[in-house]
Amino acid sequence: MIIENILWDLDGTITDPKFGIIRCIQYALEKFGKEIPPFEKLFWCIGPPLYESFPKLVPKASHEDVLTLVDLYRERFSDIGMYENEVYPGIPDLLSELQIKQKHYVATSKPHVFAKKILSHFNLSHYFSVVHGSELSGVRSDKGELIKFILENESLDPNKTIMIGDRKHDVIGAKKMGLKAIGITWGYGSADEHLEVGADFIFSTPQDLGKFLNPNN
């Protein structure tokens, strides 16, 4: 396979957003008057869109309730939560190494306004041709819809484009649009999760991923 374009998930793939995301979810639930789950019980919320996670956390929530919870989450996230984050070791070196060979794009369910600020904060923006994410309204928070949008807007050939992500949503979205998918396990998804949804390749470290994407280095 000739790989000319790489789509990267953000949370759990490029950066570890654990503290920011979970603390903001706990903040939103507390403000909404709901019981706050323990920190370690919320790891599953890292990756899926908030519009999917909050209905599971508050099963009887109406659509309006979910919108309120998302707004409460963003109250804290926009000022504090997005920076309670860290870049995975080895990622900057990998991006620098691969930048010569392929074009790189961010494909995140996170709103692009936040994704751009996070990448700028960690001095990673220059590695990516474009940063794509959802709208604040939730439009394109589904990974398949987002990938479709990126392929069309960037005029990318699906046969020469691959998706990299740590959760099943990344693999499912890629498959839906005819892309090969790489599942990585240094984030919040397991090898079993990736295998169940048909990941083409699975890597456990940025170094192993780099050997695959740039075998001649």
Residues designated catalytic: 9
Q: What are phi and psi of 10, to 5 degrees?
A: -105, -70
* Helix, coil or strand: residue 163: strand
CB–CB of 176/147 below 8 Å? yes
Helix 18-31 × helix 50-57 angle, to 10°: 50
CB–CB of 197/171 below 8 Å? yes
Closest listed residue to residue 141, CA positions, set 49, 10, 13: 49
Buried b (16+ CB within 10 A) or exposed e, 49-84: bbbbbbbebbeebeeeebebbbebbbebbeeebbeb
Strand order from edge to edge, sheet including 103-111:
130-134, 103-111, 5-8, 161-165, 180-184, 201-203
Distance CA 109, CA 138 (A): 9
